[in-house]
Amino acid sequence: MSKYWSAVARGLTPYVPGEQPKLDRLVKLNTNENPYPPSPRAIAALRDELGDDGATLRLYPDPNADRLKAAVAHHFADCGLAPANVFVGNGSDEVLAHAFQGLLKHDRPILYPDITYSFYPVYCGLYGVDYEQVALNAQFEIEVGDYLRPNGGIIFPNPNAPTGRLLPLAAVERIVAGNPDAVVVVDEAYIDFAGDAIPTAAALVTKYPNLLVVQTLSKSRALAGLRIGFALGDPALIEALERVKNSFNSYPLDRLAIAAGVAAMEDAAHFDTARKAVIGSREALVAEMGKLGFEVLPSAANFIFARHPQHDAGTLSAALRERSIIVRHFKLPRIDQHLRITIGTDAQCMSLLAALREIL
Ligand code: PMP
């Protein structure tokens, strides 16, 4: 902190650096990355874009990322979406930031769950958005009825983070339909891990002009390092996001991200195999954790949220860290006895289970 800082900078807290430790040989199960590599077609596209001499890097990227918008729209063609329904940004974090600034009302409180993605209050602080936190029920589920009251907008992750719980599509629709005067943002960072069928609210976009669905290539497409996210919505909502984005940076994505993003969106076979592998590993891990006495919430994500009735979560997390296994422990009311554990490779899950057996 220094005297030169604005009030905004003073009010901000840096992202916990401990979650991205710079150590080798860690079993890193704390930030919900994909344990498998991205599509080989994405890697080939990166090489093509770069060429032998990187000459294209002299040139600015396409300011509209048209190819990527087309590839995203094509992936959601069954939902009747066109490129005009697509916005792309630097990770879904940036897409969400633009939604907070451009679509959620600043003259009355917005609603989001009391246990949810930690960036929502940060964006509210940054952009001066008032909010009310709506309590999840005893099973850590979103109660639709709690969101049917006057508000300046609604945002929730589906599946929710860090609980992993899924709100069925029909319930999402009731929230969207019940709030025709406000934008409902459904943050679907983890939706591709919900099951064989993907219950995405993208299917509702053409029906509701107040629905914005946000997704990312960081999780199911294993491209967290390239920072690619997108939003799907009515063209009028997309226009608001474009206006905000243009005022920050007229080039939302760099050339490499666009090239790899297009190839990753087009590789439907790799996408399906990779997400189903994670789902399979999750089901196996849940079963094994149960045998160790953990209570695991039903998860539709690439992580699980678990507590052990006889063991303190903070102590467990520290004991795992001593064994070079990093999981996420939130020192927050109601969830300070839970651990959020990312689904790793089968070998990583075995290391986790072996360590837990030793600790317990
Ligand atoms: N939404 C949720 C619920 C998340 O957990 C994350 C990842 N931390 C994001 C959005 C942002 O992901 P990214 O910026 O990598 O797309």
pLDDT in the model for residue 21: 63
d(CA 261, CA 102): 25
Q: What stretch of H or E contains 48?
A: helix 40-50
Q: Please give the CATH number for the structural domain made up of 40-266.
A: 3.40.640.10
DSSP state of 167: P
Map out the domains of the chain as residue ranges.
21-38+269-359, 40-266
Task: Using the mean position of ligand 1's atoms as its centre, give its distance from the Cα of residue 207 in Å.
Answer: 26
Name residue 230's beta-bridge partners. 88, 215
pLDDT in the model for residue 20: 64
245 phi-psi bin (left φ>0, alpha ψ -120 to 50, beta other): alpha
Please answer whether residues 31 and 19 qualify as being in contact, where contact means their C-beta atoms are separated by less than 8 angstroms.
yes
Nearest in space to 249 (alpha carbons), one of 67, 58, 89: 89
Q: Please give the CATH number for the structural domain made up of 21-38+269-359.
A: 3.90.1150.10
d(CA 338, CA 332): 10
pLDDT in the model for residue 142: 98
The residue whose CA is least distant from atom 8 of ligand 1 is: 31
**Integer angstrom CA distances of residue 92 from 44, 187, 211, 219, 348:** 24, 8, 16, 11, 27
Structure pTM?
A: 0.96
pLDDT in the model for residue 65: 97
Average pLDDT by consecutive 10-residue portion of the chain (360 residues)? Answer: 85 68 80 97 98 96 97 98 98 98 94 98 95 98 98 98 98 98 98 98 98 98 98 98 92 95 98 98 98 98 98 98 97 97 97 98
40-266 and 21-38+269-359 share a CATH fold: no
Tell me if 224 CB under 6 Å of ligand 1.
yes
Tell me if 93 CB under 6 Å of ligand 1.
yes
- Which residue is listed with tokens 């939302």? 252
d(CA 222, CA 167): 24
Task: Using the mean position of ligand 1's atoms as its centre, give its distance from the Cα of residue 360 in Å.
Answer: 32
Whether residue 162 is preceded by a cis peptide bond, meaning omega within 30 degrees of 0, is yes
pLDDT in the model for residue 189: 98
User: Looking at this predicted complex, what is its ipTM?
Assistant: 0.99
Tell me if 92 CB under 6 Å of ligand 1.
yes
pLDDT in the model for residue 18: 58
Count of CB atoms within 10 A of residue 295's CB?
Answer: 13
Please answer whether residues 329 and 109 qualify as being in contact, where contact means their C-beta atoms are separated by less than 8 angstroms.
no
Task: Using the mean position of ligand 1's atoms as its centre, give its distance from the Cα of residue 243 in Å.
Answer: 22
The residue to mutate among 29, 88, 93, having the most atoms of ligand 1 within 8 angstroms of its beta carbon, is 93
Whether residue 159 is preceded by a cis peptide bond, meaning omega within 30 degrees of 0, is yes
Coil, strand or helix at 155: strand
Nearest in space to 29 (alpha carbons), one of 306, 359, 232: 306
Nearest in space to 158 (alpha carbons), one of 300, 334, 305, 271: 300
pLDDT in the model for residue 105: 87
